[in-house]
Amino acid sequence: MFGKKAKEYNPHHIPLLNKIGYGFGAIADNLIMNAFGGLVMPVYNIALFVDPALLGYAIAIPRIFDAFSDPIMGNISDNTRSRWGRRRPYIFSGALLCALLLPVVWMAPVHEDRFVFWWVAILGTLYFTAYTVYIVPWQALGFEMTTDYDERQRLLAWPNYVGLTMSFLLPWLPRLVEVERFGGTVQGAVWVSVGVGLIIILAGLLPTLFGREIAQAEEQEHIGLIKAIMVSASNPSFLIVAFSNVIVLAGLAAFSGMGLYVNIFYIFDGDRAAGLALAGLGGTVYAIAAYFSVMLAVRLGTRLGKKVATQILLGLTMLGAASLLFTLRPDMPYLQLVSTVFVGLGLQGTWMTFFTMVGDVCEEDELKTGLRREGMFSSIGGFSRKMAVAVAAIITGNILKWIGFDAEVAATSGVPENVLGLLKISFVGGQVIVLGLGLLLISFYPITRERALETQRLLKERRGELTEA
């Protein structure tokens, strides 16, 4: 089921079908990661009035547990020896488990605050543990499919091209669960999640069929967990990429998560249907711009190098976020889509270049240690990103509480003007600050194109021709 074992192939040019097949894994990643987070607040806070701060902690607990499980999963995958390779069995199993668990998240039998808190925390922990089983090996597989500096950039563009198709769907999920035919928001969330789960299963299968692993990696010595973590976490180049990613991701997740509230209560004065529809349209516009962002990132990365590409893309994102101060206007609700275009043009390419930089770090690590440890680097990167999302969930819920937002009051008597002002300022200002910090930190990234190519030349001398598993 998981592909053929070890025959010769050219790691400098991956066939298009293999790139697309690997890229389909991003559909599962996108849906698993964002369907849960995108529906918790609309279902349990906006529709059922559960305390947003409690929900923030309930979202954070699974992500913290999930983050700590990442290095364990990375080490397990790196050390696995099976007829199907180190990555493929876990990729499909994790996707299947996530698809089965997602609908259950919305089946809480009691809607009292503390019961929902424990329900979301426990189900979420199981769900994101399955996500770890999927995402760590899938990302590691992408790092090892090619050893070529530019081909890695082209390969890892495909998860963005393919995965972005779900960005046309995801922003509309909160609106879809409100469709009257489902008989209520909760029932809508269950049925929408069933459909999402079927897509996750199919998308999770394809990388196992088209992914290619390096055969020599199966012959290397087993790596102890603690030693692997310590060596990986002490790599300066990796730390710069990881911290840049974390700062941008945590900040954007914390503050951009308030965008739904801005549209419903600031732009449309509490009209939930109109706010959700505009959020969905904004997501669609972002997805279109994001396709151009990926193409721009590939062009910039192959011509100017990944560091310069990332700086340009972060700058575009920062410009778009800052412009929201002027484009968020209740009298011109769709003007904000201009800002969305700039954010989309910059942000998606930024995520891609962060990801491809880790592949270059893996090459330098192999030169130093003699071991291929894509799973560990993927897992530590995943650990940092998931901790960032966990912290962001807490920040979002508490900011809403600190500025005085109350969903039940908002639904009955509206939101006070001073709270609306604070909501807008927090939403815009927070994003600009974290993007600036990320831009500053990535300027210290040391791996240039010339350095990466020299590393690959030395590795080629050491290991000779590559084979696929």
**What are the CB-based long-range contacts (under 8 Å, 24+) for 399-404?**
399/254, 399/255, 399/258, 399/426, 400/52, 400/53, 400/258, 400/261, 401/52, 401/53
- 8 A C-beta contact, residue 22 and residue 142: yes
In this prediction, residue 29 carries a pLDDT of 92
CA distances from 337 to 258, 284, 285, 329, 449 (A): 16, 10, 7, 11, 36
pLDDT of residue 373: 65
Coil, strand, or helix at residue 328? coil
> Residue 329 in 3-state DSSP?
strand
Architecture of the domain made up of 7-468: Up-down Bundle (1.20)
Token duo for residue 133 = 């089983």
Contact 262, 276 (CB under 8 A): no
Taking the chain, what is the end-to-end CA distance rounded to the nearest angstrom?
A: 13
Distance of alpha carbon 49 from its chain centroid, rounded?
Answer: 27
Asked whether the whole model's pTM tops 0.85, one would answer: no
What letters, b where the CB count within 10 A reaches 16 and e where it falls short, cover 355-373? bbbbbbbbbbbbeebebbb
Give the chain's residues under pLDDT 50. 1-9, 466-469
Q: What is the largest CA-CA distance in the chain?
A: 72
Q: How far apart are CA 218 and CA 86, in angstroms?
A: 8
Residue 199: per-residue pLDDT: 95
Taking the C-alpha atoms of residue 159 and residue 329, their distance in angstroms, rounded to an integer, is 35
pLDDT digits (tens, 9 = 90+) for 232-275: 667 788 888 888 888 888 888 777 778 888 988 899 988 888 88
Give domain limits for the chain: 7-468
- pLDDT for 469 equals 42
